[in-house]
Amino acid sequence: MPNHSNGKPALLNFNEAGEAYDSDDKKPVILCLGKPDVHYSEAYSVKVLFDLAAFYDALPLYENLAAILLCQHAADEALPVIRQHPNTALILVFCDEPCLYPHDGNIPTEQQLTSAWQAWQQAYASYPELGKTHNPQDLLLAYLALRGDCLLTPERDLSSALSYRYPVLELFDLGDSQYFLKQAMRDELMSPVSLVDRVRQCTHCGHNKLNYVDLCPQCSSLDIKQQSAIHCFTCGHVGEQQRFMDGGRLVCPNCLTALRHIGADYDRPLENMECNSCQSFFIEAKVVARCLHCDHENDPSDLNIAQIQSFRITDKAKFRLRVALDERFSLDLGEQVSRDYLHWLVDWQLGLSRRHQIEFALLCLSFNRVEQAVDELGAAQVYRMIGQLGTQVKDRLRVTDVICQYEDHSYLLLLPNLPVDHLTVVQQKMRQLSQLVEGSSALDMAVSYYHAPSELVEGENGEFLIARLLAEASGHD
Amino acid sequence: MIDFLTTVFGLLGQIWLSALIDGQRTAFLLPAFIFIELSLLLVIVFGILHWYRHRQAFLSMPSTYHPRVSIIITCYGEGREIEKTILSFAEQIYAGHIEIIAVVDGAKQNADTFAAAMACRAWFERRHRNQPLRYPNRSYRVLPKWQRGGRVSTLNAGLHVAHGEIIINADGDTSFDNVTVALMVRHFQDPNVPAVAGALKVRNQTDGWVTRMQTLEYMMSIQCAKTGLARWNMVNNISGAFGAFRRDFLRKIGGWNTHTAEDLDLTMRIKAYFGRHPNLYIPFEPHAIGFTEAPATFKEFRQQRLRWDGDLLFLYLRKHKQSFRVRLLGIKNFIFTVIYGVLQEIILPFLIFLFTLWLFVIYPAGYAWGVLLFVYFLYLGQAVLMLALYYFLISERREQELWIFLWSPIYPLFAFFRKMWSMVAALYEIVGRGHEETSMAPWWVIKRGTKF
């Protein structure tokens, strides 16, 4: 809580008579941008601000914030700021103005507000670790979870690249929505509920404002026209019908034969398009999907296809909010590398191993029953076991070993320059781990190993290898 | 009429008798037999020359007359052959609208023809909204007559639904040059023209000698004869395979009439107004050409001519004997119809037959053969003259038709057989009422037609 004795903005409290008064009590606060039409009793402390800058400044001030009411325009501007501020990201927001973003409904009566707030508080209580969350992704998951598994639904928006946007994702500033959702699906944090639409995107810029045009297959010119062509049997000349017209007759412009009888003197060849640029005849024009955004010409069958879906958060995501956000459930193994960097490192080591027979080992350490263990033994017991295991593992690592928390309860250890006979020692040590820590069998710890160059497989890359090790360790092979 | 015939017969009989008595003069009497042919020949030759002189003026006359034209295509068992016909009308170079109506007689029995007609709709429709029409200004409809009713009912059904100012009737096995409609319509600019006769050629010319001979015959009897005769407004017949009519006129005279040879019947009925309306004129357009399938074997050819020539006699001497009046036909067409229709087509074959028989009975074979050789060269001369007139003045496909002269020496023999066969047909009609055996309509329709 910042010290706001000096920089405290001028806040106005209203009593029942509508008179402003100063109050510092611990009543739940309703922060209002603009004066609400609804009257709230003394049970709430109503703070009204008219200036947007002052409103933003007030966001971090209240710990016992019940709700925010947006009673004047600028809701579109204020709502993202509210959601991106860690203090107010999950708070109930009500708004009467039309708004680009989703909120919790129209300005409620006191009764409605009370019940909504109570429900919110109840939901909030089941996620005790939420207060520590600052990561926008977790805030988003929490936002959805606190609102009764609210769906993440797309909305039509012609100005966006895909013609659809996810307003909630925008609220939390999560970057490219498609990329985010793909990651979230891979991590099993979100699961699709229903397919809303399927849109085709430019392969170059990803926009879906495409214009399907038919072009000359020879020179790709746009300037083509339907043509009735005539084929003279006498000389084989094929040309535009207009050039054959001679008074009321058809005369071949090439051999000057009068063409009188269809099928006997002439016919209409199938080619019935002509290019005005290169004069070539063709049957079917080449159709391309030209991107109106970047002018890239796509083959219609090559276009990227994006599925526009609505999503809900998974149980795994809720578990993550409840448990995994708690750092005490993670092994404390010192400094770690990111997944992408691990991929790169493994690929590099594999490359070295192929070329120079460099030896290295990759270990996957996985706890497969943390969730159940928390339920069965209680969080405190699990904290203790994980803490002990972390210390044990850390003691056995060399300074040069690389660690990555690849998934919530899976760790990958890259042990460079490890001869194959040393690997058996490592394996032995790891096996001993569970015996050293009492009760740790409840976590169902499993370890899988890989050693290069002894297990080197042609064509295998880092990502494959890691996926295989993870699968082996988690038991679903 | 009968009186007139007896007079002619009497006159010829006297020539005949004197020749019989004084056998030595036979050779000199020969031209008497071809007197009839010769008179026709002269009319035709001068007609063609006259036509040729005025042809350029006719073609270069500016025209903005492009009325809607309805084509009635009579389809029966042609199958996919009708596609050629329909396509050839779609391909017409004509600024106005052409309504193509494929009337399928007995669409139930002729399911393949009906299916082919339905399939042709694709040419006149758009596959999608942005596709330009392949044939703008052309419309197409199929009119299936589920119950077979014969040619006449087919034509009248087409006439009933036609919207065009000009009606063109066409056989399902006949395809047309792309200037046909434009040339035919050009004649209708003259309000006195109730109908225009169209030209026919043989599509399967190269199938064999029978079709080669018929090609020559068509050239002489259609391209030449009709061009010449039409110049003097004496066209003998508006072909059932291809003719054009002013719709209102056609409807007023009641459309086509039952019985066989409905085309000749219609021509006679139009001509029956010539006496009262001397300005009426039926032109012939030799460059509006329908290519039709001719009988490819000799047997089929004989069957076809047995029908045609028998029908001719039925029409002239039975159904339309009342029309042989100067008051109805006008003097010119009266004389012509008698000379052409009765003398040349019906009586001359008998005369030639009897003459040949008599020649061999009276004279030594050598002399008889000599006379026949003379007659042969006479007819060859006539044929070559006609073909030359055709080739140099009328033909529009000279480069493809030089072969006709090569085949012309056989033609007189073919013509001789044709004449003899036409006599058989006449006898068959007189004795056996051959016209009632037509395949052009089902028996239950024929049975109800008025007896003549």
Q: How confident is the model at residue B163 (pLDDT cuts 50, 70, 90)?
A: very high
SS3 state of residue A249: strand
- Cis peptide bond prior to A453, omega within 30° of 0: yes
Q: How confident is the model at residue B164 (pLDDT cuts 50, 70, 90)?
A: very high
pLDDT, residue A6, reads 42
CA–CA separation, A81 and A12 (whole Å): 22
CA–CA separation, B23 and B371 (whole Å): 13
Chain B CB contacts of A250 below 8 Å: 93, 178
Which of these, A102, A115, A111, A195, lies nearest to A150 by C-alpha position?
A102
pLDDT, residue B314, reads 85
Q: How confident is the model at residue A325 (pLDDT cuts 50, 70, 90)?
A: low
DSSP string covering A413-469, please? Answer: EEEET--HHHHHHHHHHHHHHHHHSTTGGGG-EEEEEEEETTT--TT--HHHHHHHH
Beta bridge partners of B202: B292
Q: Does B130 touch chain A (CB under 8 A)?
A: no
Contact criterion met (CB < 8 Å) for A260 and B88: no
Domain endpoint, select from A86, A108, A125? A125
The region that residue A2 occupies, defined by phi over 0 for left and psi between -120 and 50 for alpha, beta otherwise, is beta
CA–CA separation, A143 and A172 (whole Å): 10
> Is A320 among the domain residues?
no
B427 contacts: CB under 8 Å, gap ≥ 6 = none
Mean pLDDT of A264-279: 81
Mean pLDDT of B4-11: 58
How does pLDDT run across A293-322, given as a tens digit for each residue? Answer: 899 999 999 898 888 999 998 887 887 777
DSSP B328: H
DSSP string covering A329-353, please? Answer: GS---SS---HHHHHHHHHHHHHHH
Taking CA–CA distances from A229, the nearest residue in chain B reads B134
CA–CA separation, A195 and A204 (whole Å): 24
Which amino acid is residue B134, in one-letter code? R
Chain B CB contacts of A252 below 8 Å: none
**Strands, E, within A159-315: which ranges?**
164-165, 190-201, 210-215, 224-226, 229-232, 238-240, 245-246, 249-251, 258-259, 266-267, 273-275, 281-282, 286-291, 297-298, 304-313
Domain endpoint, select from A125, A141, A160? A125
> Is A80 among the domain residues?
yes
B227 CA to centre of own chain: 12
DSSP string covering B79-98, please? Answer: GGGHHHHHHHHHT---SS-E
Which span out of A173-177, A343-347, A383-387 was modeled with the highest average pLDDT?
A343-347
Contact criterion met (CB < 8 Å) for B175 and A262: yes
Computed over every residue of chain A, the mean pLDDT equals 83
Smallest Cα distance from B179 to chain A, Å: 7
CA–CA separation, A429 and A394 (whole Å): 12
Contact B405, B387 (CB under 8 A): yes
CA–CA separation, A280 and A216 (whole Å): 8
Between residues B355 and B287, the one the model is more confident about: B287
Computed over every residue of chain B, the mean pLDDT equals 86
Taking CA–CA distances from B179, the nearest residue in chain A reads A249
Q: Does B66 touch chain A (CB under 8 A)?
A: no
Nearest to B178 among A226, A228, A260 (CB): A260
| Whether pLDDT at A126 is above 90 | no
| Whether pLDDT at B61 is above 80 | yes
**Strands, E, within A108-189: which ranges?**
155-156, 164-165
Q: Which two tokens stand for residue B312?
A: 């001719």
- Interface residue ranges in chain A relative to chain B, Cβ cutoff 8 Å: 226, 228, 245, 248-250, 258-264
CATH number of the domain bearing residue A439: 3.30.70.270
Contact B445, B150 (CB under 8 A): yes
A63 CA to centre of own chain: 30
| Whether pLDDT at A8 is above 70 | no
As a whole number of angstroms, the longest Cα–Cα distance in chain A is: 106
pLDDT, residue A324, reads 58
> Is A411 among the domain residues?
yes
pLDDT, residue A323, reads 67
| Whether pLDDT at B28 is above 70 | no
Mean pLDDT of B214-222: 93
Between residues A443 and B25, the one the model is more confident about: A443
Nearest to A262 among B88, B182, B289 (CB): B88
Mean pLDDT of A327-331: 64
pLDDT, residue A2, reads 41
Is residue B198 within a helix (H) or strand (E), and if so which, with residue range?
Answer: strand B195-202
Smallest Cα distance from B191 to chain A, Å: 22
Mean pLDDT of B249-277: 89
Contact criterion met (CB < 8 Å) for A226 and B131: yes
Domain endpoint, select from A125, A148, A165? A125
Chain A CB contacts of B93 below 8 Å: 245, 248-250
Contact A246, A254 (CB under 8 A): no
How does pLDDT run across A172-219, given as a tens digit for each residue? Answer: 888 888 888 888 888 778 899 999 999 999 999 888 899 999 999 888
3-state helix, strand, coil split of chain A in percent (to 5) is 35, 25, 40
Taking CA–CA distances from B291, the nearest residue in chain A reads A261
Q: Determine which of B80, B93, B135 to mutate to test the interface with A (most A C-beta atoms within 10 Å).
A: B93
Q: How confident is the model at residue A12 (pLDDT cuts 50, 70, 90)?
A: low
Contact criterion met (CB < 8 Å) for A263 and B87: yes
pLDDT, residue B121, reads 92
| Whether pLDDT at A4 is above 50 | no
Q: How confident is the model at residue B417 (pLDDT cuts 50, 70, 90)?
A: very high
> Is A147 among the domain residues?
no
**Lowest-confidence region among A412-421, B97-106, B312-321, B419-428:** B312-321
Distance in Å from the first CA to the final CA of chain B? 17
> Is A191 among the domain residues?
no
> Is A61 among the domain residues?
yes
Q: Which domain holds residue A385?
A: 326-474
Q: Which two tokens stand for residue B394?
A: 């009328």
Integer CA distances (angstroms), B355 to B15, B358, B369, in order: 12, 5, 13
Q: Determine which of B135, B178, B206 to mutate to test the interface with A (most A C-beta atoms within 10 Å).
A: B178
| Whether pLDDT at A10 is above 50 | no
How does pLDDT run across B180-204, given as a tens digit for each residue? Answer: 999 999 999 999 999 999 999 999 9
CA–CA separation, A245 and B230 (whole Å): 30
Give phi and psi for B154, each to the nearest 5.
-65, -45
Q: Does B81 touch chain A (CB under 8 A)?
A: no
Contact B119, B90 (CB under 8 A): no
> Is A394 among the domain residues?
yes
| Whether pLDDT at B392 is above 90 | yes
Total domains in the fold of chain A:
2
pLDDT, residue A239, reads 81
| Whether pLDDT at B450 is above 80 | no
Q: What is the dihedral of CA A313, A315, A318, A319, to 10 degrees?
A: -150
Q: Could you say which residues from 261 to 290 on chain B have a Cβ atom under 8 Å away from some Cβ of chain A?
A: 289
Give phi and psi for A202, each to the nearest 5.
-60, 135
**Lowest-confidence region among A41-45, A211-215, B401-405:** A41-45
Q: Which two tokens stand for residue B44?
A: 């035709």
| Whether pLDDT at B91 is above 60 | yes
pLDDT, residue A271, reads 59
> Is A321 among the domain residues?
no
SS3 state of residue A162: coil
Integer CA distances (angstroms), A185 to A312, A405, A476, B226, in order: 10, 19, 19, 88
Taking CA–CA distances from B59, the nearest residue in chain A reads A248
A124 contacts: CB under 8 Å, gap ≥ 6 = A90, A130, A146
Interior angle at CA A70, CA A153 and CA A172, nearest 5: 40
Contact criterion met (CB < 8 Å) for A262 and B291: no
Smallest Cα distance from A287 to chain B, Å: 15
B16 contacts: CB under 8 Å, gap ≥ 6 = none
Q: Does B87 touch chain A (CB under 8 A)?
A: yes
Chain B CB contacts of A287 below 8 Å: none
Mean pLDDT of B278-283: 93
Is residue A92 within a helix (H) or strand (E), and if so which, with residue range?
Answer: strand A92-95
Other residues' Cβ atoms within 10 Å of the Cβ of residue A417 = 12
Between residues A430 and A211, the one the model is more confident about: A211
Q: How confident is the model at residue A328 (pLDDT cuts 50, 70, 90)?
A: low
